[in-house]
Each structure stands twice: as structure tokens, then as C-alpha cells.
Amino acid sequence: MSADGILGAGYDGSSGTNQTASHDLGINASGELSGYYFNPKFLSFSVLPSYNRSQSNSGSSSLTNASDIDTNVQLFTGSHFPGAVSYNKAFDSTGTFGLPGVQSFVTHGDTSTFGIGWSALLSGLPPVNVSFTQSSSSSTIFGTTQETLSSSRVFNVNSAYRMAGWGLQGRFTDVTNQADVPVFLSTASGSGSDTSTNHSAESTKTISFAASHKFPLHGGAQFSYGYSSFDGGTGTDQSSGSNTVFNANISITPKPWFASSFETEYNSDLSGLVEQQLAATGNVGTQVNVGTGSHELSFTNFDNLSLWKGIGVGLSASRTYETALGETVTSDHFSAVVNYHFIKPLWGSVLIYGGIIDQSNETGHEGTGVTAGVNVSHWIHGFDLSGSLSYDQDVQTVMATEISSSYTFLANAKRRYGRNTRWDTSLSGYRSGLGQEPGSSSHSESYTSSLTYKRYAGSASYTTSVGTALFTPTGLVTVPVSLLPVLNNNQFIFENASGYSLSLTAGIFPRSTLNVSYGNSTTSTTAAGLLSSSSSSVLAVYTQYQLRAMTITAGYTHLMQGVSAANPTPTTFTTYNFGIQRWFKAF
């Protein structure tokens, strides 16, 4: 058994909006206790507690003086029945309410997580792994007074086994999510005095089986079956449903220059399919209805040919039979893409591709789109340059009759100056949307640059993001373009956000470090025709000096954040600390 940690003491101060300034002498600590009983393979454990740790006094990620304990126990390691139990509890820790592409809102609250897992590994029998995780959290965005409560439970059983040349897999998952979210967050309405919340809950159950086997002509065959059900909603808007999916895929490589695959998939309920994809984003309670009796059956063929001197051709053809929104349609998609890869001293490594995407249904030709792109990497005059550009038009979504278009770009540059200096920069962005839906597009652009010289490093970044987003208890997430056709306009949020950040790390003296960071973001969101604007900025400074086993620390953190729907006046929160910490080993 061993125990070590860090113990610190010093002066703490804090002030802020609607809060009395405080000044006191405080302590902070963190440690680790680990060991085993009888034998490490019989029982081993670790306990990691911390008390009063923040950015100001220890350089941790929390703005507030957070305390937590993290425990883990391993049982019967190496036996036929190994298991593990874990528990984590955090008090007054800093978290985030996510915003796509920019700095997130800063929150503070409590979280707890409990997990247990066990396995049965018996000779001659399929292995079985069982796990259960339960978590809960309560958090408040700085600048507001209402809490966001969320909880989840996940039960999972899975097994993988090989028998008679077959690879077999099975899985069962039961997920339950609940959330109580302030009205001003989930609908952009309400006010700081509005204490009402929206309650949402959703339960999903999934069972799946898969089998794979070698196939003639250097190929393989995979078959899978899955069944999922969902039940839940927000308030009185409740829905339930299920989906059965069957997939079969056979691939062959008869020649080194030719590969082909054939795939078929059946979904018994498109609403259930979409609900699964929404749940994967963390969204709870969004209502989806693509009509009674909706289903889909598709057949797809992919072919790849490697031709002369870096030239390749990719072909795909598919037919989809879909019943949705009271209509039955048959849709055909075809694409042909030619790519050319070459390496030349003047150009570096270059991949160019281009092709067509064609779509039609039983009523006639619907249109022809294009796909094109280029990837380049080159070393020239000491610069390591790389970049890519791609464009796709008329790409099929979850609805056979709806198509999307998008483009993305990325550029990177790196340069070394001597042995101690390095410069990196990158520029990236994307734009996507539905061809038939005005206002459905999303786009984002970002720029980052960093410079390192010996013990000094600095970086800067700027990001802007505009588009649709789904609400989750932990923040907004970008809506997958393929799902936009089945979401009503009042079920997602339109977001316009921008932000920038600066950071500096310096080792001015030996055994010393200085870290300075600043981030700022502004966001406006619209839901159900109502507008909410918000802003957040965080300045953090932390420095330390190492003196044998002791560390002298000083820190300062300033947060200013406002959410107009909750409070038109931004809230400020400031902490500062000066102290001494010492590492110790108890035994």
C-alpha cells in the first residue's frame, strides 16, 4: 500500500456580482492511496481525493474551489470472473454548457458517477461482459439562478466469440436519460425570475447480433440484426416506437486491382431509426414522426478499380424503396468518381478526385450533382504545407427524396526556425445544408496559430459558427444534416456564435512556469421565434515556482458571463490566491 499527495495553504479571496467579497486563509490538498489485499490479482484499489483545488491555487481545470473523490476497485484480475467497481463524486466543480464551435458557457455544480462491470470468461464458452453505469449532475450557468438537473442509467451486456470459422457478436443495451432544464435555456423564453423547468425523459433498449465469415475470392460476408425501442418525450408530448434493422454485406476482391461489395439493409420504422441517431447526439425528447407504417429497404453496390499509374475509379449504385409521410417512393442513386494520386518534386503529394452523383425516382430524373476534391502535402523552403478541399452536391439523407450539399476546406502550415523555434497554423471550415430547405444550412470557420520558442509558447484562435443545433442537457450540438428533413422547425435552435482565445506559457526562470489564458465568445440563439443573446469571457493566470519538494503558487481568475433570457446584466466572478504547496509521501 502507498499514499502520497500535495498539501497547500495560503491566502484565498473571491468577489462577484450578488456575492459578498471573502478573504481567508485556506488549505487545499490532493492525494492518492493505492494498494492491494492478499494479492494484486485478488483485489487492488485506488482512491484519489482532492479538496479546495482550483485554477487559482493549483492550476486545475476548475474555476471554483472544487473537491472530489475518485475510487476504483479491481477484483479477481486474471481469473475467469474479473470485475471492477468505480465511484466518483465532485462538489462545486466547474463544467461547461457546450456551444458548437466556440467557447462554452461556464457552469458550476455537483456530479456523481457509479459504475460496476463483471465478466465471465469460461473455457469453451462465449465470454460474457456485463456493466452498469449510473450518473447524475446538477449545474447552474454563471449569471443565472436556475439549476439544470440530469441523470442517466446505462446497462450493457455483450459477447464476442469465434465458432467454426464464424465471428459472432451479441449485445443488449438499456439506456435511460432524464433532464430538468430551465425554460429560458430550452426555449429561449422565460426570465431570471421564471423558475419553471421543462422535464424530459427517454428510454431506449437495443438488442443486436452480428456474424461474419470468410468468403471466396478473398472476400468476407457480414450479417447483422438489431431491434431497438424508445419511449419518452418532453412534458405531455410523449411518443414511443421501435425499429428492426437487418443488414447483409458481401465483399470480394477477385483481382488485386478490383474490389466489389454488395449490401442490403431493411429498417422497419424510420421514426425509430431517427430516434436512435438523435439519442446518440445526447438529445432528449425531440419528437419525430414520419408517418405510420414507415419503412425502408435498400440495395447497394460499391466497386473500386485501381488503374494505371495512380488512377482509380469508384462506382456505386443503389435502389431504395421507402414509405414515409404517407407516400411510397422508389429512388435510384448512382455515382462515379475518378481519383488520381501522384508525387512530383514540384507539387509534392497530390490526390485529385471528381465525379458525378445522379438521382431519379419513378416519376423521372431528379437531378445530377457533382463531387470533387483535392488533397495536397508539400515541403518547400522549410515549410511543411498541407491542405484539402472537398465539395459534394446531391448527397442522400435519411429521407430518400431529400438531398444535401456540403463543402469543407483545411489548410495547415508548419515551419521550424533553428532548433528551438516552431510555428504552426491552420485554417478550416465547412458548409452544409439541404438543397430543398431554405434556412437549413450550417457553416463554421476557424483559424488557429501557435509559436513555440524554448520555454515560451503562445497561441491564438478564432472561430465562427452559424447554423441549426439540437438542445441537450449538456449544451447545444450540431444537427446531423441527414436528419434535418424529419425535424420540424420548432424542434431545433438556430445559433450564431463567434469566439476567440489567447494563451501564453512561459518559463521565465528555471523551475518556474507562468500560464495566461483568455477566451471570449458571443452567441445568439433563436427558438420558436424568440431571441436570446449571451456572452462569456474567462481570464486565468497561474504561476508556480518549484523549490525542492515545495511549490510557491499564485493565481487569478476572472469570469464575466451573461444570458439575456435569464439576466440582462452580465455576472462577474473573481478569485485570487497566493500559497505554498508541498509534495509528501506518507508510506
| Overall average pLDDT of the 4-20 stretch | 84
Q: Which amino acid is at 93?
A: S
The pLDDT of residue 405 is 76
Q: Which of 174-178, 244-248, 351-355, 439-443 has the lowest mean pLDDT?
A: 439-443
Cell numbers that stand for 401 in this block: 427524396
Please answer whether residues 295 and 267 qualify as being in contact, where contact means their C-beta atoms are separated by less than 8 angstroms: yes
| Overall average pLDDT of the 179-192 stretch | 58
pLDDT at 275 over 90: no
The pLDDT of residue 434 is 53
The pLDDT of residue 508 is 87
- Diameter of the chain measured on Cα atoms: 80
Q: Which of 554, 492, 500 minimizes the C-alpha distance to 526?
A: 492
pLDDT at 192 over 80: no
Helix (H/G/I), strand (E/B), else coil: 116:
strand
Buried b (16+ CB within 10 A) or exposed e, 134-151: eeebbbbbbbbebbbbbb
| Overall average pLDDT of the 328-347 stretch | 89
The per-residue pLDDT of the chain, averaged, comes to 84
| Overall average pLDDT of the 288-317 stretch | 88
pLDDT at 377 over 50: yes
Highest mean pLDDT among 88-92, 237-241, 449-453: 449-453
Instruction: Report how far residue 50's alpha carbon sits from residue 93's, in angstroms, rounded to the nearest whole number.
Output: 11
What pLDDT band is residue 406 in, cutting at 50, 70 and 90?
confident
Q: Which of 145, 214, 228, 224 minimizes the C-alpha distance to 184?
A: 145
The pLDDT of residue 447 is 95
Share of the chain above pLDDT 90, in %: 44
C-alpha triplet 395, 401, 406: angle, nearest 5° = 25
pLDDT at 378 over 70: yes
The pLDDT of residue 188 is 39
Question: Left (φ > 0), alpha (ψ -120 to 50) or beta: where does 522 sit?
Answer: beta
| Overall average pLDDT of the 20-25 stretch | 81
What pLDDT band is residue 531 in, cutting at 50, 70 and 90?
low
What pLDDT band is residue 329 in, cutting at 50, 70 and 90?
confident
What pLDDT band is residue 189 in, cutting at 50, 70 and 90?
very low
Q: Which amino acid is at 335?
A: S
What pLDDT band is residue 402 in, cutting at 50, 70 and 90?
low
Alpha helices in 163-257 (DSSP H): 183-186
Instruction: Count CB-CB contacts under 10 A for residue 563.
Output: 27
Cell numbers that stand for 573 in this block: 466572478
pLDDT at 74 over 70: yes
The pLDDT of residue 183 is 65
